[in-house]
Amino acid sequence: MITADDDLLAGLDEVNWANLNHAYGTADDVPGQLRALCGEDEQAQQNAFTSLFNHLAHQGIRCQASPYAVPFLARIALGGPGAAREHALQLLTGLAVNWDEENEIIDGVDIAAWRAEAAENSSDKLLSLCEEELATEQDEQRRRNLQDTRDWLSVGNPIDPRDASMRSYDTVLAELPTLLTLLGDENPQVRTRTAYLLAWFPDLADTSLPLLLDLAAHEHDAVAKATSLVAVGILGTTTLAGTLAADLDAEDSLVRWAAAIAIAQTARSADAEVDAPLLDRAIAELAAAAVAPAPVPATDYNQGDFHGHIANTLLALPTSPTLRAAIAACLPIDP
């Protein structure tokens, strides 16, 4: 666990990066990119951010080196210069989840299913299967391929994408208790990116939910407030929707949208305690937002696709006369 007082890159050269791989080969260039990310040169920061994202989360696939970068990114998020903190939080999100999973945000994170999938294809399990095949394989080329795979797996390297991604996810999870302090940061973009990151970690919800609710209640920046409201809806309990009702009357349209999204998200639970008039108000707000221009700036949910997020949310709700009417009015599909 890191603290805000730690040296940002303490221990960086103690990692054997040359023996780790990322999407483009050996990870021995990662230390230089991390140094550039937390340096003072803004263009170098941007270049390092792009390189780190492409190398460690290439097309959403986490790599062998990905978890090793997480503690350093957490330090930069806490104490780095300027935009480096925002870049670090965005990288931490990319190392926890990929963009396909971000597009499925209305379903939240089924962490039990993710862990089961990772366990089914863990390095230890695949290594055992590989050894069994080697014991009986007669073809020489296949034996060499199996031996290469065995050697890779024997030192703990992942092969299955879910196994690799869960290693990064869990490393980010371990850093979150310290990063929670960023919800009170003076920079609204840091608050926003921290709230967005927390939406992906239901294991931490008992701790993060009260903080996100407090941020939503006191936040003056519309994007930060909206991001925290949607995170509350994703992580919240089935009795939480009533606490979001006041924000349906907010002056800012993005905040109203976020409150409606959060209430609708809560209502998708079979055990939800969302009264029908409140849900109808949320549906009406989403229907109105669906035919209006997207606010600029909006949130990062659904990869920034404001109208797509509305469509996905409405279509996932239990059917009702109000919902059918809303869909007929604002979506070019049959209800």
Q: What is the mean pLDDT of residues 245-273?
A: 86
* pLDDT value, residue 5: 44
**pLDDT per residue as tens digits for the range 123-177:** 676 667 667 776 777 778 777 776 766 766 665 666 666 677 888 899 999 999 9
Please report which confidence band the pLDDT of residue 49 belongs to, taking 50, 70 and 90 as the band edges.
very high
**pLDDT per residue as tens digits for the range 10-31:** 999 999 999 888 878 889 999 9
Closest by alpha carbon to 194, among 204, 185, 206?
185
Closest by alpha carbon to 228, among 8, 281, 240?
240
* pLDDT value, residue 249: 93
Of 184-188, 231-235, 237-241, the poorest mean pLDDT is in 237-241
| Mean pLDDT of all residues belonging to the chain | 85
Q: What is the mean pLDDT of residues 314-318?
A: 85
Total-model pTM: 0.86
pLDDT exceeds cutoff 70 at 269: no
Please report which confidence band the pLDDT of residue 86 belongs to, taking 50, 70 and 90 as the band edges.
very high
Please report which confidence band the pLDDT of residue 50 belongs to, taking 50, 70 and 90 as the band edges.
very high
* pLDDT value, residue 335: 41
Higher pLDDT, 274 or 262: 262
Higher pLDDT, 60 or 75: 75
pLDDT exceeds cutoff 60 at 334: no
213/262 Cα distance (integer angstroms): 12
pLDDT exceeds cutoff 60 at 240: yes
